Structure 1
Amino acid sequence: MYQAFVIDDEPKVRKGLSKLIPQLDEEWEVVGEAENGVEGLKQIEQLRPHLVFTDIRMPMMDGLDLLHALQTYPLQVVILTGYGQFEYAQAALKLAAIDYLLKPTKPQEIFEVLSRVKKTQQNPQPIDWLKSTHQESKVQIALEYIHEYYKQDLSLEDCAASIQMNPSYFSYVFKQEMGVNFIDYLTHLRIEKAKELMESTNQHLYEISQQVGYSDHKYFSRIFKRIVGVTPSGYRSFSNRGER
């Protein structure tokens, strides 16, 4: 059996997660609970679980202090928080937390964590690999969301919410994974889609502008020229000449 430990000063959250874990995966059992980091550390030293879920804001010893104390232990830690602040996520990940989940967590998110930790127990991998694999999967889901909704008034906050990630942290992870920031990626995607429409349809340029997410045609023209080097009308004329 794989063993988990839950630390949270909210009894409802603590009891709920302890009940949920074995329901999601029968190979997991919760061997203990605690309402603060001090109590949790004492039990963890004795029980030595494979995985610890801990709140980040607790009395006596918070989640970050607990992470410091657990750094020498052969276990993995997931941070739970309702605060949604990037600074906490960044600090937790630097201290080797494998994940950062916003409350209320979804059963699917917990299940994914349990599955990943099981795999590392069966085939040990560095913690950095475990974290990067999860980040990559989150970014891939975000990319699918962007490609589906780029025609709408899409914001970084919308995209982050679609994968249950803090916006600031999502921005950091997206840039790290893709090599460009969110708005640059979205802008280039929209411009590429606009070029495709100019080449394959006879739609008016203002209609194409709206179809790729720009309600202001003049703004679209400025962005298009900045990226492509010519105006939309100039690009269409050039592409039409190339077809002759």
Structure 2
Amino acid sequence: MNILMVDDEPIVRNAIANMIQSMADYYDVLTAEDGEDAITKLKKKKFDIVITDIRMPGVDGLKLAKYIYETHPKTYIVMLTGHADFEYARTALQYKVVEYLLKPTSMESVKDIINNIEMMIKSRRSKSEIDRLREKNLLEKRVQDLFYEMPVPYYDESLFPEFQSIYLFSITMKPEELRKKTIRFSIKNIISDVMNELGTSIVVVEESHLSTVLFSYEDQSKQVEEVLKNISSAIEQILKRSCEIGIGGVSDQLHEVSELYKKSLMELGLYKEEVSVENGKSNDSIHRLIRSVIEYVEKDYSKEITLTSLAEQLFVNPNYLSSLFKNEMGVTFSHFVTKTRINKSKELLRETNHKIYQVCKMVGYTDQAHFSKVFKAFEHTSPYEYRENNKPQQKHSQ
């Protein structure tokens, strides 16, 4: 932590500076003999804390505080003053002076003030990091929306980094490897580190791959090709695993990102154009994400299932997944889950001797009355009546 001690009295200045320096090895304490000297040092170096006397010739403590307030807003100011000048020093509140030290000061007072400010600095840096991560996550979601052609007003060009060109590529490896969070996290970090110098890179993690969008001020096609080799080599050296890279290409239009994304997945064999078939869709014509959703619901219909939890597992935006499901299947996700449960309950009612309350629990319902109500809404009959009307024919002995 960088601290500047300002006082025109050498004995006071050096005594307090030495006192602070003795408190922690990581404190870097410099001194200035007056306000003018302090401003000169502030122009050359950033300081976390400036401790300044109020009464100094030329540029006094108030003028120095005003300068720091206007030019170094993240620097904390501590005013050093005597009892006679305390009320005068209080006028510096407008310059965000955070603490006051009364002369003569004790080591305990100095230590308490420095510790309090250090805690404020750590808190501010922590909040800044949280805000940065939140903004980065939001930007990743915006880019993911571009992949799936989410229309305006879901995104606006002003929400994205400035660019002249957009470059996109995707990376995949063996599914069992990519399922590991540590592997996905490491690949994402490798890509971000290597792409950093070319512009603003956004890495979106999905179920079977990671896709990177580079926003650049110029066409980086040639540089990116070299960078991709470096990424592949880094993954092989650091993670001891091989990867495949699908190149989507370059564009200067946001609305073309979806086509670049599809192209990159096609190169990896992860995307197929939908093929319409008579009397509905074949399994291959259903979007891969929706196939994953269907498989999950058909396997775990007895558990609590939410679209949000599935979206998290598939690394996609919940709004996008909801919209895609409706477009692909013609019904909402909620309707599909309910229909799956009712179909399974019909099978159990026909082919087993389980009591209705047991069937209710087996298909994911905790309230039998609610289950019966939903069943009747779909089948226009109660579970009991359905079982009675669909009993297997008994064979009569000769």
Query: What is the TM-score when the length of structure 1 is the normalising length?
Result: 0.56
Where 1:170 maps in the other structure, the secondary structure is helix
Q: 2:288 corresponds to which residue?
A: 137
2:198 aligns with one of 16, 21, 33 = 33
Aligned partner of 2:84 in structure 1 is none
Instruction: Look up the match of 1:47.
Output: 222
Q: Aligned to 1:116, which of 266, 278, 281?
A: 266
Determine the C-alpha separation between the residues in 2 that align with 1:39 and 1:140.
32
**What corresponds to 2:258 in structure 1?**
97
The change in CA–CA distance for 1:5 and 1:230 in structure 2 (over 3 A counts) is closer
Aligned length: 170
Partner of residue 200, structure 1: 351
CA contact (8 A) 2:168 2:214 kept: no
Structure 2 vs 1, CA of residues 34 and 148 (structure 1 numbering), >3 Å: closer, same or farther?
A: same
Q: Aligned pair in 2 of structure 1 residues 218, 204: CA closer, same or farther (>3 Å)?
A: same
Task: Say whether residues 1:211 and 2:362 are aligned partners.
Answer: yes
Q: Percent identity?
A: 23
Letter aligned with residue 219 of structure 2: Q
Quote how far apart the aligned CAs of 1:115 are. Answer: 5.3
Verify the 8 A CA contact 2:168 2:264 in the aligned structure 1.
Answer: no
The one-letter code matched in structure 1 to 2:317 is N
Aligned counterpart, 1:226: 377
Residue aligning to 1:106? none
Q: Structure 1 residue aligned with 2:249, among 75, 85, 90? A: 75
Task: State the one-letter code of the partner of 1:47.
Answer: K
The corresponding residue for 1:164 is 315
Name stretches of at least 5 consecutive residues in structure 1 with no aligned partner.
7-11, 21-29, 54-73, 78-91, 101-111, 121-126
If you compute each CA radius of gyration, which structure gives the higher value, 1 or 2? 2
Contact 1:142 1:162 in 2 (8 A): no
Is the CA contact 2:311–2:318 (under 8 Å) kept in the aligned structure 1?
Answer: yes
Summarize the Cα distance change of 1:155–1:192 in structure 2 as closer, same or farther, 3 Å threshold: same
Quick check: 1:5–1:33 contact (8 Å CA) kept in 2? no
Amino acid at match of 1:17: I
Q: Name the SS for the 1:151 alignment partner.
A: coil
Question: CA–CA distance in 2 between the matches of 1:14 and 1:33?
Answer: 16
Q: 2-side partners of 1:16 and 1:38: how far apart?
A: 14
CA contact (8 A) 1:49 1:75 kept: no
Q: 1:5 to 1:159 in 2, by over 3 A?
A: closer
How far apart are 1:134 and its partner, in Å? 10
Question: Structure 1 residues 134, 162: CA separation in 2 closer, same or farther (over 3 Å shift)?
Answer: farther
Shift of the 119–231 alpha-carbon distance from structure 1 to 2, 3 Å rule, reads: closer
Preserved CA contact (<8 Å) 2:350 2:390:
yes
| Deviation (angstroms), 1:43 | 3.2
TM-score where L is the length of structure 2: 0.36
CA-to-aligned-CA distance 1:86-141 (integer Å, 9 cap, x gap): xxxxxx6x5442588xxxxxxxxxxx985533569xxxxxx9949xx998111111
Partners of 1:99 and 1:170 in 2: how far apart? 20
Q: CA deviation at 1:183?
A: 0.7
The 1:215/1:16 distance shift into structure 2, 3 A limit, reads: same
Q: CA RMSD in A?
A: 4.3
Does the 8 A contact of 2:297 with 2:337 survive in 1? yes
Matched-pair contact (CA < 8 Å) for 2:322–2:333:
yes
| Higher helix content, 1 or 2 | 1
Shift of 1:146: 1.1
The residue type equivalent to 2:249 in the other structure is: L
Task: Give SS of 2:216's match.
Answer: helix
The answer as to whether partners of 1:175 and 1:182 remain within 8 angstroms in 2 is yes
Residue 154 and residue 39 in structure 1: after superposition, are their counterparts in 2 closer, same or farther (change >3 A)?
closer
- Name the residue aligned to 1:184: 335
Structure 1 residues 150-161: aligned runs within 5 Å = 150-161=301-312
Residue in structure 2 matched with residue 236 of structure 1 by the alignment: 387
Q: Which amino acid aligns with 1:172?
A: S
Amino acid corresponding to residue 141 of structure 1 in structure 2: S
State whether residues 326 and 333 of structure 2, in contact with CA within 8 Å, keep that contact through their aligned partners in structure 1: yes
Report SS of the residue matched to 1:42: coil
Q: 1:34 to 1:207 in 2, by over 3 A?
A: same
